[in-house]
Amino acid sequence: MIRGKVVIAQDICKGCELCITSCPQESLGLSDKINIKGYRFVELVKDNCTGCVNCALVCPDAAITVYRQRKEVFKANQNMKKAV
């Protein structure tokens, strides 16, 4: 599976949890800490993000940046695994 990762601007996040419900991999969750505004912010809790962008699309505060593995890197990794 293509790997992705999300970077969440913790001070902008208001903890509305819309991204948590929209994540098909259930890899987002609320933090136990609070941010500068007093909201519990969202963070990556599981390392199974695929970079599908769903969370960033529903984020009302544009707090989420999504990274995804390049296809050629992904394929190279697959081939390496096969060779091993």
By the criterion CB under 8 A, which residues form the site for another protein? 4-5, 7, 9, 11-12, 14-18, 21-22, 37, 39, 51, 53-54, 56-62, 64-70, 72-74
CB of 84 to another protein, least distance (A): 18
Dihedral angle sign, alpha carbons of residues 24, 27, 33, 36? negative
Answer whether 5's CB lies under 8 Å from 67's CB.
yes
Q: From CA 28, how far away is CA 17, in angstroms rounded?
A: 9
Nearest to another protein of 37, 46 (CB atom):
37
CB of 24 to another protein, least distance (A): 9
